[in-house]
Structure 1
Amino acid sequence: MNKKKIYIHAICYAAALLILLIIQINWIWKTAEIKEALFNKKASMVLSKTADLLSEKKELCSSINECIGDKEVYTIDSLIQTNMKLYGFLLEYSFGVSNKKGNKYFKGDIKKTNSFNTVVKNENLLHDLDLVLYLPKKQEFIIKEIGGLFFISIIMILIVIFLFWKTTYSLIKEKRILKETKELFNNMAHEFNTPITNINLAAKILQRKEANHLGKNLTHYSQIILNENKKLKDHVQKGLRLTELDLCETAITKQEFDLHQVIDKAVKAMKIQIDNKNGKINLLLRAEKMMLRADKSHLFNILCNLIDNALKYSRKKPEILIQTINTENSIKVSITDNGIGIKKEFHQKIFNRFFRVNDDIKVKGFGIGLAYVKKTIDLHKGNLLLESIENKGTKLTITLPLNE
């Protein structure tokens, strides 16, 4: 399945899940409306039943004509409680009772919302009696009625959406890894093919009977074998170092050392490559605190790797500047070159494993060098900053903590 099809399927599944979510929410909304209608009906029945029982009490009605006192309020309250229990309506409530004469009584606060009204009429009443029942926790009651279904439904839908996203993301990731792996093997085949071919040719020449008469050429062919063997070894070591770092942080063996000495050592190790390119490397080591606790071997490899990149990605004579400076509790090492630079669109991708920029220089490699640099710096709890302008050059700044 190609990437386009994966995206199409993902969009279809996402649309189906969204429609399902809308249907579910609509169903819950309709259920809430039904529950509210039932609630209103029950409340009205409670009020209506209370009004009926109140109108039957002639003595109470007569006394209400005079005033609405505690006795009358207590009786009305008892009737409301009885009917609330009868209809299974165990809620907090307030009520009010009044007539046109101006007699009135309110138990608790009463608001217009969630209030239910009825009129009590009786021949013993001189004025109709207005009875108001206020149920402040109407919304809480309805939510409680449907809350379990609502939250379970939403949680299940969210779980399905998450699993769908995770599955789709994994498929895309696997597809990307498969593509990168193919590119890696393709690069490996090309990278290994040249040294193997050269070794094979040199070995065949040395196997000939006239090999003893080669003289100086014998040394030349022997050197070819050694050089090409070294190339193969370097390629293998790069892959092994990155794999080692992936396994666990114990791949980092920290020791205290002078970073300036390691920089000098890396420059000397790359001297042949620098001379072959007619390059120039300048050191501006201004850090006063240069003692660092880190993995000496890995940092040496990083410096060699970055110097090698600066040499390879250059159309003219390479000019490299290595600087160090202290900032608070850290040391910064920057490597600046005058190479071809990196397009801004690739700045975020350049440290991804197997990623390679298609440039006109056609530098060979596996695309794991900068990934190895980034991984190593991360394990040292440091930072890596890339500054690059196309056709002008690149500056890579490594920040490492001194107290780690």
Structure 2
Amino acid sequence: MKKRRMFSAILAGAVLAIGGLLVLQTIWFRSAYAVEEQQFDNKVNVAIRALTDDLLKAEGDSTSVIKPILKKATNAYYVDFKHALSYHVLDSLLRKNFVRHEVNLPFELTIYGMQPGSIVLGNYYSDGATSKNNATCGSRALPASTPMDFMITFPGKRADIVSGMKFWILSAIVFLVVLSLFAFLVIDLMKQKKLSEIKTDLMNNITHELQTPIANISIASEVLRTGAGRMDEQKSLHYANIIYEENRRLKFQVEQVLQAALFEKGQISLIKTEVDVHALVEEVIRNFQLRIQHRHGQLNCRLEAAKPVVLADAFHLANIFYSLLDNADKYSPDKPDIVITTTNTLSGILIAIADKGIGIRRDVQRYIFDKFYRAGTGNVHNVRGYGLGLTYVQKIVQAHQGKISLTSEPHQGSRFELYFETC
């Protein structure tokens, strides 16, 4: 418990540290962008202010004062000029001042009349301040002696600022790579820790599960041995049935572990023959009935399929039924009430095994086929197992190109449905 708390504390500290670095990286990046944007704004403002001064001087006006430049958008600068403009003079002075102040981005120049929103002229300078290809713009005349405003827009401003932050972008990429590797290591470490805990639980479960049938077989055989010749036939048969049932249970448990290992290695092979599902179900029920009767429960079947023959491995198919019946019995805290039904569909057979046990919560139903997973059992503490049964069932069903589904509600029981194609 102490090691688990220490591991959780270290993991939480590492996650907080990485989260703090991620926040700092974001703040630094935004600050760097803001600084670059402010520097660009300052250059543009100085250039436009120098432009307006030169325009007034060109018109012979040395007394007027131009209002502060308005920033209509992050990339648009509006000049409330209120003076007559000559396009040739504006074009020449605009280029000269942008070159002087190193403003080299492509820009749009829009000239407005005094009526709100009235555009007199709009041009796009594709090569920035150094463009020479604007002859068509120069041929357009502006109204003489008419007060006008103008606005300069830089469509590529944001992209230019970001491209100038290569060091910050590179550092952010490196940080994200390191963060991704750290996240991968943390997830892998948690998986390894969980796997270690699962293996410990599995060993404990295997020890308990194998000891129980061995102990029962030992006791029953000892009674038969010591009571030989003095015990009546009914008692002898009772103890012989105990040995048979516990031996079958032991064999099934060992088989589960072995089959899980074979599935892990991909070495499982099926010997398919034509199998009568009804006959196989009845055989499994005969072998399982003693266990149900011992708990004063009932195991009923309604075999209604008109075509019960499938192409399957009889051994593995029998193990599927036994595994599902075993779960139905274990997770029925009171007297087991289990029903097996078969019906035909258009192209196959549907086999349902339903119980009235504790059921399975919806939020964990998607995990029940995972290897070693065992759903919580509420107040039922005596339910043991490896967490391999349903994994084995699903693998075998899929190996037969079949389907398995579950319908369950807490305290209302569970219903497993198996579908196989018929011959």
TM exceeds 0.5?
yes
User: Which shows bigger deviation, 369-378 or 245-254?
Assistant: 245-254
Aligned to 1:384: 405
Cα deviation for residue 5 of structure 1 reads 3.3
Find the partner of 2:391 among 342, 361, 371. 371
Contact 1:334–1:398, Cα closer than 8 Å, also in 2 = yes
The answer to whether the 8 A contact 1:335-1:397 is kept is: yes
Percent identity of paired positions between Structure 1 and Structure 2: 26
String of CA shifts for 1:281-309, please: whole Å, max 9, x gaps.
32223345645455543232110122233
Equivalent residues of 2:362, 2:408 under 8 A apart: no
Q: 1:250 to 1:92 in 2, by over 3 A?
A: farther
Q: Which has the higher helix share?
A: 1
Q: For 1:180 and 1:81, how far apart are their aligned partners in 2?
A: 74
* Structure 1 residue 355 corresponds to structure 2 residue 374: yes
Tell me how far apart the structure 2 counterparts of residues 150 and 233 of structure 1 sit (CA, whole Å): 64
SS in 1 for 2:164: helix
Separation (CA, whole Å) in 1 of partners of 2:227 and 2:373: 46
- How has the CA–CA distance of structure 1 residues 78 and 289 changed in structure 2, closer, same or farther, with 3 Å as cutoff? farther
Aligned match of 2:34:
33
Partner amino acid, structure 2, of 1:136: P
Q: How many angstroms apart in 2 are the aligned matches of 1:271 and 1:279?
A: 9
Amino acid at match of 1:14: V
RMSD: 4.7
Gaps of 5+ in 1: 60-66, 111-124
CA separation of 1:253 and 1:9: change in aligned 2, threshold 3 A: farther
- Does structure 2 retain, via aligned residues, the 8 Å contact 1:46–1:84? yes
Query: What residue number does 1:19 align with?
Result: 20
Matches within 5 A, 1:5-404: 5-48=6-49, 50=51, 73-74=87-88, 76-85=90-99, 87-95=101-109, 106-108=121-123, 132-146=151-165, 148-149=166-167, 151-194=169-212, 231-248=249-266, 251=269, 257-274=275-292, 276-277=294-295, 279-288=297-306, 290-292=308-310, 295-314=313-332, 318-326=336-344, 331-338=349-356, 340-342=357-359, 344=361, 348=365, 351-352=369-370, 353=372, 355=374, 357=377, 362-377=382-397, 380=401, 382-390=403-411, 394-400=413-419, 402=421
Q: Is the 8 A contact 2:360 2:408 kept in 1?
A: no
Which whole-Å deviations, capped at 9, do the CAs of 1:345-400 have from their partners, x for residues lacking one? 8954655516374755835543432332244445546232142543xx63322243
Offset, 1:27: 1.4
Tell me what 2:67 maps to.
none
Label 1:43 to 1:235 Cα distance change in 2 as closer, same or farther (>3 A). Answer: same
Q: Write out per-residue CA displacement over residues 55-88 of structure 1, whole angstroms, 9 at most, x where no aligned residue.
A: 77689xxxxxxx86xxx53454344345545554
Pick which of 168-177 and 345-354 moved more. Answer: 345-354
TM-score (norm 1): 0.69
How many angstroms does 1:238 deviate by? 1.3
Q: Using a 3 Å threshold, how does the CA distance of structure 1 residues 57 and 254 change in structure 2: closer, same or farther?
A: farther
Q: How many Å separate the matches in 1 of 2:284 and 2:378?
A: 28
Q: Distance in 1 between matches of 2:183 and 2:402?
A: 31
Structure 2 stretches of 5 or more lacking a match?
Answer: 61-83, 126-143
Once the two structures are TM-superposed, the CA of residue 153 in structure 1 deviates from its matched residue by: 4.4
Per the alignment, do residues 6 and 82 of structure 1 end up closer, same or farther by CA in structure 2, a change over 3 Å counting? same
Matches of 2:109 and 2:333 in 1, distance apart?
90
- Tell me what 2:133 maps to: none
